[in-house]
Amino acid sequence: MKPRLPRIWIITNPDHPEGPVAPLVRALRGCPPGAVGVQLRAKQATDRKLVDWGHALRSTTARCGCLLTVNRRPDVAEIVEADGVHLPEAGLCVPQVRSEWPDMALLGVSRHDREGLSKAGQEHATFAFLSPVFPVPGKAEPLGLEGFAAEIAHVEIPTYALGGVHAKHVAPLLVAGACGIAVRRTIYDAPDPEAALQSLLSELDKTRPKGE
């Protein structure tokens, strides 16, 4: 049985002065169970450091009922007992990972256009990130709100909006069809990561149907 998808994914920042774990621990204080997922992303880290961070994040996420995935590395995801793996567009393909790691509960993917999303849906990926939606330093031309809505229209895979997303964007993105949001700098650049996450969750709460 696949875990219920969270409303927010937080992608780790290994370059934070405190490392990727400490700011996240603060952010997740008081977080409702199941509301947030964490993706361990640290492309330049050694295997040993990646596993160490993975174990620390698994301990933290388990305590607060959050999901954990590992970017690119299903082997590390298995070692740290994460809930799944997140595959970049140029990384391993979904069928290959399902074949080699059949017990992997979550297979997330990063995509940049409708074609990539459609293929991910056909391959039965669990969910997708579509980016960049808003301007991000060093990234491609942003899709914008209307571009995001156009790319995900009639695509049969839950899709999160990633790239320059802040609290003010939550409601418009959900109206545009996003199943949730994915963030990194919004949490890691915040002087108070917990307050930053609570602000996002508050905006998400405003859009939930009554009784949900």
Q: Give the confidence band of 70 by pLDDT, cuts at 50, 70, 90.
A: very high
User: How many Å from the N-terminal Cα to the C-terminal Cα in the chain?
Assistant: 21
Integer Cα distance of 31 and 5 in angstroms? 15
Q: Average of pLDDT values for 37-50?
A: 97
Integer Cα distance of 73 and 86 in angstroms? 8
| Structure tokens given for 148 | 């995001």
If DSSP codes are grouped into helix, strand and coil, which group holds residue 9?
Answer: strand
**Least reliable range by pLDDT among 2-6, 27-31, 183-187:** 2-6
- Between residues 51 and 212, which one has the greater pLDDT? 51
Q: What is the set of domains in the chain, with CATH numbers? A: 8-206 (3.20.20.70)
Tell me the pTM. 0.96
- pLDDT at position 131 is 97
Q: Average of pLDDT values for 49-76?
A: 97
How does DSSP classify residue 71? E
Give the side-chain half-sphere CA count within 13 A for 115: 1
Q: Give the confidence band of 139 by pLDDT, cuts at 50, 70, 90.
A: confident
| Structure tokens given for 180 | 């949730």
In the predicted structure, residue 212 carries a pLDDT above the cut 90? no
In the predicted structure, residue 144 carries a pLDDT above the cut 80? yes
CA angle 187, 189, 195 (to 5 degrees): 45
- pLDDT at position 211 is 43
Amino acid identity at 23:
P
Can the peptide bond before residue 132 be classed as cis, meaning omega within 30 degrees of 0? yes
Helix (H) or strand (E) holding 70: strand 67-71
Instruction: Name all contacts of 142-150 with Cβ < 8 Å and 24+ positions apart.
Output: 145/169, 145/172, 145/173, 145/176, 146/176, 148/173, 148/176, 148/177, 148/178, 149/176, 149/177, 150/114
Reported as a single tens digit per residue, the pLDDT across 72-124 is 999 999 999 999 999 999 999 999 999 999 999 999 999 999 999 999 999 99
| Structure tokens given for 38 | 């964490």
